[in-house]
Every structure is written in C-alpha cells, then in structure tokens.
Amino acid sequence: MSTIPIILHPTDFSEPARRALNLAASLAHREGARLLVLHVANPLTDAANVLLDDPSPDRQRQRLEQLQLEAPGVPFESRLAYGGAAAEILKTAQETGCDLIVMGTRGRKGLGRLLMGSVAEQVVRNAPCPVVTVNSPPREPAGEAEVSSGTAAPIRTVLHPTDFSGPCAEAFRVACELAGDQSARLTVVHVAVPSPAAPINQPMLPPHPEDPRGKLEELLRLAQASAPGLQADYRVEKGDVAPRIVGAAQETRCDLIVMGTHGWTGLGRALMGSVAEQVLRTAPCPVVTVKAPAKP
C-alpha cells in the first residue's frame, strides 16, 4: 500500500495476538505508519481469563507499554478501553480513521463459536477499513518450526480469490498494491461452482463467467500494464469455494490471502454463510478482508 498512516492492533495478549503484533509492526515499519495497540478490558470476563495474571487496569497498561519492545523503530501508542471487544475495536477504528486493522483470531469452531461468536468475524463484517486476521499456525514437526525473532516472516506470495464482484475488484487493487510493496508474487484464483437457483430470501451470488480464464488473463494484463514489475499468475479451481481457496493457499504456500467480503448481515448471512469468514477460520496464513467502497 502506498500509505497507511495508522495501523490498529487489538490485543488480548494471546499467541495469535502476538503473531498479529509481529505482522502489524512489520507493516508499520515498512509503510512508515503509526501503530496503535488496543486492549479492551471487560471486568465480567477478565477475572476468569487465564491469559491475564492480574486484570487490574495498572497491570494491563503496563503490559500494553511492554509491547512497544516488539515494535522497535515504529511510532507506538497504546490504549486501554472497557466494554465489549468488537464494539470497542470498531469504535476506535472509526474515531482514529485507521487504515488497517491487524488482529489475531482463535478460530473457534462448533458450539464454542456459535455461543461466543468471534470478535474477529464481527470486526471483519463491520470494520470501515481492511482487516488482517492472523490465526494460530498448525503444529509443526520438531526442528521445522519457525524461529520467533519478533518480526513477521516476509511476504513472498499473495493469494487473491475472486468472483469478479465489486468487493473483489477493491480487494484485487489492495492485493496488487501489497504484492508490489512487498516485492511478492501475486496469484489470483477463481473457484467455479455450479449455479443453482437461489432459494427465496437467499442473496444472489454473482453469475460465474463463461470464460473465467479469459477474464483472469485480462485482469492481470491490465494490472501489469499499470505496474510493469508485478509478478502474477492465475489458477481456476472447481468445488466448494472456501475449502478450495484454503487448498490453493496451502498448495501455493502463500504468505497472505487478500479477499473481498460482501459484508452480508442478518438472514442473508445466516443462510449463505460468509466465504471470507470460513476462510479466515481455517486459512494457513494471515487473511486480509476488504469491502467494496460505500456507494455515495
């Protein structure tokens, strides 16, 4: 990205949050951005949170200040807020006009996610800017685990899934800028699925193009015409969208997924589910979700 004046990093001091902080600090350093680290305290839950050895405000402010050691050379600000985590994160994003949110997610599944919800998913659905979610990595064999150095691994490959919709057009722009800024390779993937008639009250998905390869080639041709140094390729997959995106991420060993989200809410989201939310729960790497700009 050309400029990211403010990167917001919400933290609960967990392992996914630590990994997200490493990525946020790396991006802030590269982009010359200010890093705002936020912890949302909730007296009703903090007393039972084993991650917080002392839930007192003074202790939490101290822990926030200590995180500055993880972001050397980056303009750093910490904030302590109170209330619901998702609501306070979104409020802070609106008030500060931040350009990017980088946060960890525990990737809850099943009953735990149904009852508790996911703070990351709530933020993804409602944030006014792109959101990067960082999940815990799968356990690796002894000797192959990445050595923690306080910095994020370099971004060498960016994967961009597209259905050629409006949100994907904006996400493609962000993916191209990130790939260019990071000197990374961009892989664009389209998943072709059957198009049955949508049930009543179910949102309509964008129609699948008859020639997705032609559309992908044209998309990359235009992108490389405006950014001649951009390294890019594409692939067409068939099957269920979210699993195939995650499969493509694993096969390409990508370091970052950049995808659009339709931001459906209410009945539409309950019926359809969100491909973006399914991907961010199971992706092997950080995921950037981007909404289409609001229509004037």
- Give the residue among 107, 117, 144 at the shortest CA–CA distance from 15: 107
Predicted pLDDT of residue 274:
74
Q: Work out the mean pLDDT of the chain and round it to a whole number.
A: 81
Contact call for residues 250 and 221 (beta carbons, < 8 A)? no
- Give the residue among 40, 24, 38, 39 at the shortest CA–CA distance from 74: 24
Report d(CA 64, CA 288) in Å as an integer: 24
Give residue-wise pLDDT tens across range 70-116: 999 999 999 999 999 999 999 999 999 999 999 998 755 544 444 34
Report d(CA 251, CA 265) in Å as an integer: 32
Grade residue 140 by pLDDT with cuts at 50, 70 and 90: very low
Grade residue 213 by pLDDT with cuts at 50, 70 and 90: very high
207: pLDDT strictly greater than 60: no
Give residue-wise pLDDT tens across range 152-200: 678 999 999 999 988 889 999 999 999 998 899 999 999 987 655 444 4
CATH architecture of 157-194+207-290: 3-Layer(aba) Sandwich (3.40)
Report d(CA 205, CA 152) in Å as an integer: 35
Could you give the strand order of the β-sheet that contains 100-105, starting from the edge strand earlier in sequence?
76-82, 34-41, 6-10, 100-105, 131-135, 287-290, 256-260, 157-161, 185-192, 231-238
How far is CA 123 from each of CA 84, 129, 195, rounded to the nearest angstrom?
A: 12, 10, 30
Total residue length of the chain: 296
Q: What percent of the chain has pLDDT over 70?
A: 74
Long-range contacts of 262-270 (CB under 8 A, 24+ apart): 262/165, 262/167, 262/203, 263/125, 263/126, 263/167, 263/291, 264/203, 265/125, 267/201, 268/201, 268/202, 268/203, 269/125
Lowest pLDDT segment from 120-124, 209-213, 260-264: 260-264
Report d(CA 3, CA 99) in Å as an integer: 9
Question: What average pLDDT does the segment 261-274 reach?
Answer: 54
Report d(CA 17, CA 231) in Å as an integer: 31
Going by C-beta distance under 8 Å and a sequence separation of 6 or more, which residues neighbour residue 208? 163, 192, 193, 195
E runs forming strands in the chain: 6-10, 34-41, 76-82, 100-105, 131-135, 157-161, 185-192, 231-238, 256-260, 287-290
- Quick check: do 6-135 and 157-194+207-290 share a fold? yes
Grade residue 281 by pLDDT with cuts at 50, 70 and 90: confident
3-state SS assignment for residue 71 = coil
The answer to pTM > 0.85 is no
Predicted pLDDT of residue 80:
95
Q: Are strands 131-135 and 287-290 parallel, antiparallel or unpaired?
A: antiparallel
**Domain boundaries defined on the chain:** 6-135, 157-194+207-290
Question: What average pLDDT does the segment 279-292 reach?
Answer: 89
Report d(CA 55, CA 49) in Å as an integer: 8
- CATH topology for 6-135 is Rossmann fold (3.40.50)
Q: What percent of the chain has pLDDT over 90?
A: 53
